[in-house]
Amino acid sequence: MANYEDLKKKAKDALDTIADVSVEVYKFAEENAKIIAKKAKLNAEITREKALIRRLKGEIGNKYYELHKEDPEEALKQGCDGITDSFIRIAAKKKELEELKTTEESCCEETSDFECECECECEPESGGEQKDNAEDA
């Protein structure tokens, strides 16, 4: 019986040791989880603050440009001129797009007997019938 009692005591001691180690591991993991969560929260807050700074700088830049685009300070003249030039290029490209749209629409009107090859959404009057017949053949 002494062996059984010794074995029982050793098993109990081993379980107590395992339980103590488990509690320590849990506390360590809990502390690390708290630290990781805190770091993630702080990084997210920093990211939000940086985004706010970028937005505010953009607003300041937009306001400055609108107020001083005709006569900016020398240090900002090149940037203001670059913005103005970009607006001019955008306007020219928009005009060109409108011209292409008009050309595309007139292309479809002129090709009523043939299938329209442009990328517009118009449907030629007799071209659709020819397409259907071609698919049936």
pLDDT of res. 110? 64
User: Which has more pLDDT, 124 or 67?
Assistant: 67
Which tokens sit at 8?
Answer: 């029982």
Check pLDDT > 60 for residue 61. Answer: yes
CA distances for 61 relative to 52, 54, 75, 83, 122, angstroms = 14, 10, 13, 11, 44
Q: How far apart are CA 75 and CA 73, in angstroms?
A: 6
- pTM for the predicted model, two decimal places: 0.51
The count of other CB atoms within 10 Å of the CB of residue 136 is: 6
The string of pLDDT tens digits covering residues 5-51 is 888 888 888 888 998 889 899 999 999 999 999 999 999 999 999 99
What are the tens digits of pLDDT across the range 98-124? Answer: 999 888 877 766 665 555 555 555 554
User: What is the rounded CA–CA span in Å between residue 119 and residue 63?
Assistant: 40
